[in-house]
Structure 1
Amino acid sequence: MLLLLVVVTLWIARQSMQEEAERTTPQHRVDYYLEGVDSTLMDLSGRPSKRLVANRMTHFMDDDSTELESPRMTLYDLDRPPWHVRSETGWLSGDGEVLLLQGEVKIDRFAAPGVRPMHITTRDLRVQPRDNYVETDAEVHARSNQDRIDAKGMQIWLQQPIRIKLLANVRGHYEVEP
């Protein structure tokens, strides 16, 4: 009888310790959400620098991260057309340093005098908004007028001077104007 009492007591103690651990473990919980988000960041001279639009934004209290539904980001350039980046979903780190655009990603820049249009499709893009830098390890397909480039992996610095680094398996087709 005494042995049964000791076993039951130990079992109850173990159960209460597990319940206490579950209560003190932080949970990935939503503290607020917004629908129809449209946020514009201005530069020091008062011109738009970056714009983020999303159908829904869900913020999590434990790590200060944010999930985005159908995010669309615009990176403005002083003398050239802006870059437009959109994806299926996104995740923004709590400090705002990293934006992960998940699923299919499209990057566009329209033509202007002296500027060729650019259309890039890829997947799972990592964005460092502060540096106007994007990268992916996925397949990349880029088009500009009749020219096209396909590659595996890419890095782009979207501020002047714009640089694009294609990482592997690069194939291109270029149309020569007469």
Structure 2
Amino acid sequence: MILLLSLGALVAGWAVWNQQRPAPQARVADNRPDYVLHDFELTALDGEGKESFTLRAPRLERRPDDATMSLATPLFLIPNAEGQHWEIRSKQGWVSADQEEIQLSGEVKANSPAATVRPVTMNTETLRVFPRRNLAETDDVMTIVQPGSILSGRGFAVSTATKRYVFRSEVKTRYVPARR
């Protein structure tokens, strides 16, 4: 009888002890950014301390789970060899955690520097930029407008170092006479 009572007391004690420990709570995924910037300007420098690009946007959010950043209506100012800036705008932007890739989406528009003799405007819906590789590309239709011509095609890649570009398919060109 004493043995049964002792065993019952042990079982009861174990049950009470388990009831007192809080049950482990399931961790809820938190999609909140760990920081947000409003109406900011950021200038990134290359390895030699020269301006690589300047970014202006009304909002930047960094996700803590994967360290990526999302941008609202970003404006990138990218200097050319003469120190003048290309302007690249879009509705949204995304930057990878290692800053190896920038994705622009929604009415992406790139304008050559204002002082350029033959101004160029490039339009597409999406653009992936790889700054360290000096490469930009899209699988969408790219349209390049410059005085006297409009060139378009599906799939586009450009080396920002050599200024050489390639259209992959559906290439069309149109002569547009200058207005007098």
Q: Same-fold call, TM > 0.5?
A: yes
Partner of 1:131: 133
CA distances 1:150-171 after superposition (whole Å, capped 9, x unpaired):
1111111122x20111111000
Q: What is the Cα deviation at residue 80 of structure 1? A: 6.3
Partner of 2:10: none
3-state SS, counterpart of residue 132 of structure 2: helix
Q: Which amino acid aligns with 1:60?
A: R
Distance 1:55 1:132, change over 3 A: farther
Which runs of no fewer than 5 residues in structure 2 stay unpaired? 1-21
Report how many aligned residue pairs link the two structures: 157
Which runs of no fewer than 5 residues in structure 1 stay unpaired? 1-15
Partner of 1:96: 99
CA distances 1:82-115 after superposition (whole Å, capped 9, x unpaired):
32211001111111111111111001113657x5
Q: Which moved more, 1:149-158 or 1:80-89?
A: 80-89
Partner of 1:150: 152
Which of residues 27, 32, 40 is equivalent to 1:29? 32
Task: With the length of structure 2 as denominator, give the TM-score of the two structures.
Answer: 0.77
For 1:132 and 1:83, the matched residues in 2 are separated by 14
Distance 1:136 1:105, change over 3 A: same
For 2:148 and 2:33, the matched residues in 1 are separated by 46
Distance 1:103 1:143, change over 3 A: same
Q: Which amino acid aligns with 2:53?
A: K
8 Å CA contact retained: 1:83, 1:108: yes
After TM superposition, the runs of 4+ consecutive aligned structure 1 residues lying more than 6 A away are none
Distance 1:80 1:164, change over 3 A: farther
Could you say what the CA RMSD is over the residues aligned between the two structures, in angstroms?
2.5
Which of residues 39, 42, 50 is equivalent to 2:45? 42
For 1:139 and 1:100, the matched residues in 2 are separated by 16
Which of residues 116, 119, 122 is equivalent to 2:121? 119
For 2:107 and 2:134, the matched residues in 1 are separated by 19
Partner of 1:166: 167
3-state SS, counterpart of residue 95 of structure 1: coil
Distance 1:167 1:43, change over 3 A: same
Percent of aligned pairs sharing the same letter:
31
3-state SS, counterpart of residue 30 of structure 1: coil
